[in-house]
Amino acid sequence: TDRSIDREERCFSFVQLDLILNLLGTPQVDEITSACDGAKSYILSKTWRSAKLNNLYSMSKNVTHEAVQLLIRMLTWDPRKRM
Protein backbone atom coordinates (compact mmCIF):
# COMPACT_ATOMS: atom_id res chain seq x y z
CA THR A 1 0.00 0.00 0.00
CA ASP A 2 0.98 3.63 -0.28
CA ARG A 3 1.29 3.92 3.51
CA SER A 4 3.89 1.13 3.72
CA ILE A 5 5.92 2.77 0.94
CA ASP A 6 5.77 6.12 2.73
CA ARG A 7 6.87 4.48 5.97
CA GLU A 8 9.71 2.70 4.16
CA GLU A 9 10.87 5.94 2.51
CA ARG A 10 10.77 7.77 5.86
CA CYS A 11 12.80 5.01 7.49
CA PHE A 12 15.39 5.17 4.69
CA SER A 13 15.53 8.97 5.04
CA PHE A 14 16.18 8.63 8.77
CA VAL A 15 19.00 6.17 8.08
CA GLN A 16 20.51 8.74 5.71
CA LEU A 17 20.08 11.49 8.31
CA ASP A 18 21.84 9.33 10.89
CA LEU A 19 24.78 8.82 8.53
CA ILE A 20 24.97 12.57 7.93
CA LEU A 21 24.69 13.30 11.68
CA ASN A 22 27.50 10.84 12.36
CA LEU A 23 29.79 12.73 9.99
CA LEU A 24 28.72 16.37 10.36
CA GLY A 25 27.53 16.26 13.95
CA THR A 26 24.38 17.83 15.29
CA PRO A 27 23.59 21.17 13.64
CA GLN A 28 22.59 24.35 15.40
CA VAL A 29 18.87 25.11 15.02
CA ASP A 30 19.60 28.11 12.76
CA GLU A 31 21.51 25.82 10.36
CA ILE A 32 18.44 23.69 9.58
CA THR A 33 15.76 26.35 9.15
CA SER A 34 15.26 25.33 5.51
CA ALA A 35 14.88 21.61 6.34
CA CYS A 36 11.42 20.05 6.25
CA ASP A 37 9.58 19.79 9.56
CA GLY A 38 9.98 16.01 9.73
CA ALA A 39 13.76 16.21 9.30
CA LYS A 40 14.03 19.03 11.84
CA SER A 41 12.00 17.10 14.40
CA TYR A 42 14.04 13.96 13.86
CA ILE A 43 17.40 15.77 14.10
CA LEU A 44 16.38 17.68 17.22
CA SER A 45 15.09 14.51 18.89
CA LYS A 46 18.46 12.78 18.61
CA THR A 47 21.29 12.88 21.13
CA TRP A 48 23.86 15.58 20.39
CA ARG A 49 26.79 14.35 18.27
CA SER A 50 30.12 15.99 17.57
CA ALA A 51 31.41 16.30 14.02
CA LYS A 52 33.76 13.59 12.79
CA LEU A 53 35.04 15.33 9.68
CA ASN A 54 38.50 13.77 10.09
CA ASN A 55 36.85 10.51 9.01
CA LEU A 56 36.89 11.94 5.48
CA TYR A 57 40.64 11.28 5.40
CA SER A 58 40.10 7.56 5.88
CA MET A 59 37.59 7.18 3.06
CA SER A 60 40.33 6.83 0.45
CA LYS A 61 44.05 6.17 0.64
CA ASN A 62 44.57 8.80 -2.07
CA VAL A 63 42.60 11.64 -0.47
CA THR A 64 44.43 14.94 -0.25
CA HIS A 65 44.08 17.62 2.37
CA GLU A 66 42.72 19.97 -0.30
CA ALA A 67 40.03 17.44 -1.29
CA VAL A 68 38.92 17.04 2.32
CA GLN A 69 38.80 20.80 2.79
CA LEU A 70 36.64 21.10 -0.33
CA LEU A 71 34.27 18.40 0.94
CA ILE A 72 34.01 20.14 4.30
CA ARG A 73 32.99 23.39 2.58
CA MET A 74 30.41 21.49 0.53
CA LEU A 75 29.05 19.37 3.40
CA THR A 76 27.52 22.13 5.46
CA TRP A 77 24.10 21.91 7.07
CA ASP A 78 23.02 25.38 5.93
CA PRO A 79 22.64 25.30 2.13
CA ARG A 80 23.27 29.06 1.98
CA LYS A 81 26.78 28.48 3.34
CA ARG A 82 27.71 25.64 1.01
CA MET A 83 30.33 26.11 -1.63
- The rounded distance, in Å, linking the Cα atoms of 53 and 23 is 6
- The rounded distance, in Å, linking the Cα atoms of 81 and 72 is 11
Phi–psi pair at 72, nearest 5 degrees: -60, -40
- The tens digit of pLDDT for each residue in 11-58 reads 668 899 999 999 999 999 999 999 989 899 999 999 999 999 999 999
Q: Containing H/E element for 68?
A: helix 65-74
- The rounded distance, in Å, linking the Cα atoms of 50 and 83 is 22
pLDDT band per the 50, 70, 90 thresholds, residue 59: confident
Q: Residue 55: its pLDDT value, please?
A: 93
Does pLDDT of 1 surpass 90?
A: no
